[in-house]
Copies of this chain bind each other. A is one copy, B any other.
Amino acid sequence: MNDAEPNGEPRSYHHGDLRAALLRAAEEELAERGIDGLTLRGCARRAGVSHAAPAHHFAGVAGLLSELAATGFERLAAAIGARSAGLPPGSLDHIVASAAGYVDFARANPHLFRLMFRHDRLDHDNARAQAAAAAAFALPVQAVAAHTGLADPMAEPGAQRLVVALWSIAHGLADLAVNGQFDAQAGDDPDGWLHAQLRFMLGVQFGGDPWA
């Protein structure tokens, strides 16, 4: 079957980069079958390797899922950063773009997004996942810092509420959208509908004119 690399070279006994290949396979399994349909054996199968091989690279299915979740948080942060790059830090445009990055990431990777919050399936002390999550959660804090001019928004109750508001609004809209709750309302332009909704909500919270 899969005894050759894409370039046509025969595959050696040693895979060479099985760990990365398993992570790719796991992400595909996740996208196709969902979190509960993902198994170590299935990932090994997809990677073209015996079912016992993953044990050499991951601490069980929780270890593999945690690495996937870490990747998810890293990509989430990257998506937010890419969206808001170039916009004036702390501006409403910057904040709306950040939230849009959050929502769009969730919609593009629904199962990965859900996995990232499924603590029951993740290794509680995977260092990379914890760091990636912390880095992603730091983004709304930075946005509010720029918006308010405060060095540490979390130390000031009003600014902390703004941070939590930003995060909750993006997360709530993303989660409901991922669950298909807006299918009836969003019509044939869900992107436009969701972004208008975000701009409305954040415009009110962050002081712009929401009706503009």
Contacts and interface: CB of A to CB of B under 8 A. Distances in A.
Contacts of A117: 175, 179
Contacts of A211: 158
Interface string A126-161: 000000000001000000000000000010001011
A39 interface: no
Interface in A102-136: 117, 119-121
Contact of A205 (B119, B179, B201): B201
Nearest to A210: B161
Q: Main SS of the interface on chain A?
A: helix
Nearest to A165: B201
Contacts of A34: 120
A167 B176 CA distance: 9
A185 B159 CA distance: 12
Instruction: Kindly state the interface size class of chain A when it binds its partner.
Output: 20 to 34
A5 interface: no
Nearest to A111: B120
A36 interface: yes
A53 interface: no
A122 to B, nearest CB: 11
Contacts of A197: 161, 164-165, 168
A175 B171 contact: yes
A21 interface: no
Given A161-B197, A164-B185, A171-B176, 7 more contacts: A36-B36, A36-B120, A154-B185, A161-B200, A165-B169, A168-B201, A170-B172
